[in-house]
Structure 1
Amino acid sequence: MSLLRGGRLAPQPGEVAKYTASVAYDVHIADEVVKVNIAHVVMLAERGLIDKSRASIILGALLSAKPGELLDETLEDVHMNLERWVTEKVGAEAAGWMHLAKSRNDQVAAAIRMKLREKLIEAGLALIALRRALLSQSRAHLYTVMPGYTHLQRAQPITLALHLLAHHDALARDTERLKECYVRVNQSPMGAAALAGSSIPVDRRRVAELLGFEGLVEDTVDAVSARDFLVEALAAASLVMNHVSRLCEEMVLWSSSEFGFVEIADEYSSTSSIMPQKKNPVVAEVARARAYRVYGDLLAALSMTARLPLSYNLDLQEVTPHLWDAYDILISTLRVVAGMVSTATFNPTKMEEALSDGYVNATELANMLVKKGLSFRQAHHAVGLLVRRLLEQGRTLTSLTPSELVEAVREVSGKEVVVGAEELKLALNPRWTVEACQVEGGPSPSRVKVMIDERVKKASLDEKYFTSLKSKLEEAYDKLMEAVKVIASSGGG
C-alpha cells in the first residue's frame, strides 16, 4: 500500500507523480523539515501525547536522516520521503505516531520560514559588506570633486564621496527592510495542522520555542495559507537589486572611455575574443541584468498567490522555488559587487576635467547675483542668457568676463550690479562651491565626513543585529538537541 495514497486513491502513473512532485525544490528545506519533525515529536512526548520510549525511537531515526536521500519523486515531496525513512528504520507502527496532529501544510510553511530566516541573515550581512565598501571609497574621496548629474547631464559640482553615500543610504534602507521582514518571517505556523488545528492538545508555543521562532501565526487557517511573508521577502530583495543595478549601471558608464571616471579591477572584468584592447565591465553588466530575474520572481509569486481561496492549495508549492532563486541571486550579487566596488580605482583627474568648462557652476553664479539684489528668477534668466550666447560662440563659462555678466543682468532686469574679477572667478570655482555648500547632507567635505562616521557606526550595529539573530538560532538548535537528550534518557533510548 502506498504510504501516502493509502486506501483512498488508486496508484498514480509515474509521469503524473513527477509532474506534481516538489522534490527537486525541497532540497532547499530538507534539513529544516527534519528539525520540524524533531521538535514536533519532542513536544508530543513532553505533553504525554506519545510514549517517551516510542518518541525516543522516532527521534533516533530522525537524527539519522540524510536530507540528500529524501528526494524520491514517487513520494511527491520531502515530507513523505522523511516519513518513509523513519518507517524503514523503526517500523510503520512507531513511525505512524510522528504525524500525529501535524500536516504537511503547517510543516512546509514552517520549513520555508526557517530557511528564509537564514537567507535573510546571509543577505543582510552581504549587504553590510557592500555598504562598507562604499563607505571606504567615500572616505578616500572626501575631496574628489565631480559633476553631479540630472537626466545624465552635468548639473552641479559635488564630491565623489557624497555621490557614493547616496548609493550607500539606499542600501541602508534596504537593510532596515530585511530586518523588518525577518520579524514577520520568524513566526511559527506549527500546530495549525492542515488548517483547523487539532483536538489533540498540542503545545504550539513549545514547538515555536524549540525551532527558534519568536511567536505564532495565530489563526490556523492563516498559518498554512499565508505566503505574504515570502512575497515581502521577494519585494525586499527586488529593491536591493534595484539599487545595486543603479550602482552597476554607473560603473558600466563611468568605466567607459567617454567618462573614464573609474577603472574596474581585472578580476571583475573580461576581454573580447576578437578585440584585444577591450576591458569589459562584465560583473556590473551581469548584476544589472540579474536584477530583472529577481523582479520576475516577485511578479511570479504575486501572480501565483493572487485569487487563491483559503486555505492551502498546491499552487503555493510553485511559489517557493522563486524565493530560493531570488535569494541565491541576491546574496551572490551582493558579495561580488562588494568586491568590485572595494577594488575599483576612481580617477579624480578625469572627474575634475569634466568640471573645467564651468557650466556646472551656473547655479552658483545665479546665487551670486541673488546676493546682489536680483530675484532668483531674474538671476536664472540672466545666467541662462549668457550660457546660450557662450555656447553659440564656442566658449566656456569660465571665459565669462565681469562686464558680460553686468550687461546680461542689465538686459534681463534693468538693474545695475558690480562684479569683480576675483568674485566671478570664485563663483565659477567648483571646489569653492562644494566647500561653500554647508547645508546638512550637502557635499561639503566637513559635512560628508560626519555622515560617513555616523554610517560606519550604523553598519556595525546592523552587523551585530544580524549576528545576534544567527546566534539565537544556534542557541535554539542547541536547546532542541538538549530536549532530545532528555526524551532519549527518559525513554530508554
Structure 2
Amino acid sequence: MKVHPLRYRTHIGESKHLIEEFISSFKSDRLFAKDIVIVHAAHLIALHRENLIPHDAASKIAKEILSVLENPDHVYAWSKKTNSLFEDLFEALESYLHHRLGKIAGHLYLGRSRNDFIAAALRLAAREHSLSLLNELLRLRSILLDKGKEQANKLFPYFTHLQLAQIGSVAHYFVALEEALSRIWDSIFHSIVRHCYDNPLGAGPAIGTTVLLPK
C-alpha cells in the first residue's frame, strides 16, 4: 500500500505502514462522510461569494463535491483502486479532487486548515445525532405521560429499602420516569446550543487565516 504523494507529512526512510494504518481514521470517517463533504461545500460557497476563486473553478469543484455528497463511496472506491493510504477522509477527499480536477482543486484549500474543517464536521455530526436523540426522547416522554394518564386510578405499592412505604398511583411511576428524562433532554438541548452552533471555519490551525472569510 502506498502513501499518497499529496500527504502533508514527509517520511524519513521507509514508511511504517503499521503506524500509518493505526493512526488512520479513514475507514471510520465513513460515518461522518456527509458532514465532511458539507463542510467542504460551505467553504467553497464562502470563497466564491467573496470572489476569492474564479467562477469556472468553483463550478467544477462544486460538481465534484456534489457527486461525492451523493455517494461518498466514490472516494473510498478510488482509494481502494489506487491502493492509497490516507490519514483521514479529509486528506483522501483532497487527493481525490486533485485526481479529478488537477490544480483547479487547490482553490478549495485557500484560507482553511484540516483543524477547523474537522471541528466543523464533528459539530455538524454531533448536532444531527443529538437532535435525533432529542426527538426520540420526546416520543418516549410522550408515551410515558400517556401511560400515566391511563393508569392514574390504579393503585401501586411503593417501597423504600425493601419495605413498603406508600400506596400511590401507577401514574406516579411513569411521571417520575418522564421527569428524569426531561432533565436529560434539557441537558442535551443546552449542550447543543452552546457547543454545536458556533462556526469554527476560518480559525485555521490555531490563530486564524489572512484570507478574509465571512464568519
Q: TM-score, normalised by structure 2?
A: 0.88
**Cα deviation digits, residues 216-262 of structure 1 (max 9, x gap):** xxxxxxxxxxxxxxxxxxxxxxxxxxxxxxxxxxxxxxxxxxxxxxx
Distance (Å, rounded) in 2 between the aligned partners of 1:154 and 1:67: 59
Which among 171, 178, 181 is matched to residue 168 of structure 1? 178
Aligned to 1:198: 209
Alignment of 1:15-34 (within 5 A): 15-34=18-37
Alignment of 1:250-289 (within 5 A): none
Which among 3, 9, 12 is matched to residue 11 of structure 2? 9
Q: Is the 1:23–1:77 Cα contact (8 Å) retained in structure 2?
A: yes
Tell me, yes or no, if structure 1 residue 52 matches structure 2 residue 55. Answer: yes
Aligned to 1:126: 136
Which among 68, 74, 92 is matched to residue 73 of structure 2? 68
SS of the residue corresponding to residue 12 of structure 1 reads coil
Aligned to 2:95: 84
- Once the 2 structures are TM-superposed, how far is the Cα of residue 183 of structure 1 from its aligned partner? 0.3
Identity of aligned residues (%): 29
Q: Structure 1: give runs of 5+ residues left out of the alignment.
A: 206-493
In the comparison of the two structures, how many residue pairs are matched? Answer: 202
Distance (Å, rounded) in 2 between the aligned partners of 1:199 and 1:152: 67
- Once the 2 structures are TM-superposed, how far is the Cα of residue 75 of structure 1 from its aligned partner? 1.1
Distance (Å, rounded) in 2 between the aligned partners of 1:202 and 1:143: 62
Tell me, yes or no, if structure 1 residue 43 matches structure 2 residue 54. Answer: no
Q: TM-score, normalised by structure 1?
A: 0.39
Alignment of 1:297-308 (within 5 A): none
* More moved, 186-195 vs 66-75: 66-75
Please tell me the residue identity of whatever aligns with 2:37: V
**Cα deviation digits, residues 386-419 of structure 1 (max 9, x gap):** xxxxxxxxxxxxxxxxxxxxxxxxxxxxxxxxxx
Please tell me the residue identity of whatever aligns with 2:95: R
Distance (Å, rounded) in 1 between the aligned partners of 2:45 and 2:192: 26
SS of the residue corresponding to residue 23 of structure 1 reads coil
Aligned to 1:480: none
- Once the 2 structures are TM-superposed, how far is the Cα of residue 90 of structure 1 from its aligned partner? 1.0
- Once the 2 structures are TM-superposed, how far is the Cα of residue 129 of structure 1 from its aligned partner? 1.4
Please tell me the residue identity of whatever aligns with 1:119: H
Distance (Å, rounded) in 2 between the aligned partners of 1:5 and 1:187: 28
Please tell me the residue identity of whatever aligns with 1:42: I
Distance (Å, rounded) in 2 between the aligned partners of 1:189 and 1:148: 51
Q: Higher Cα Rg: structure 1 or 2?
A: 1
Alignment of 1:238-253 (within 5 A): none
Distance (Å, rounded) in 2 between the aligned partners of 1:153 and 1:85: 67
- Once the 2 structures are TM-superposed, how far is the Cα of residue 33 of structure 1 from its aligned partner? 1.0
Distance (Å, rounded) in 1 between the aligned partners of 2:112 and 2:75: 19
Q: Structure 2: give runs of 5+ residues left out of the alignment.
A: none
In 2 relative to 1, CA 101–138 (structure 1 residues): closer, same or farther, beyond 3 Å? same
Aligned to 1:183: 193
Q: Over aligned residue pairs, what C-alpha RMSD do you find? A: 1.7
- Once the 2 structures are TM-superposed, how far is the Cα of residue 95 of structure 1 from its aligned partner? 0.9
Distance (Å, rounded) in 2 between the aligned partners of 1:103 and 1:153: 62
Please tell me the residue identity of whatever aligns with 1:164: F
**Cα deviation digits, residues 34-68 of structure 1 (max 9, x gap):** 11111111111111211111111111111111323
Q: Is the 1:30–1:70 Cα contact (8 Å) retained in structure 2?
A: no
- Once the 2 structures are TM-superposed, how far is the Cα of residue 190 of structure 1 from its aligned partner? 0.8
- Once the 2 structures are TM-superposed, how far is the Cα of residue 14 of structure 1 from its aligned partner? 2.1
Runs of 4+ in structure 1 displaced over 3 angstroms?
A: 8-11, 69-73
Answer 1 or 2: higher relative contact order, Cα 8 Å, separation at least 6. 2
Distance (Å, rounded) in 2 between the aligned partners of 1:177 and 1:47: 38
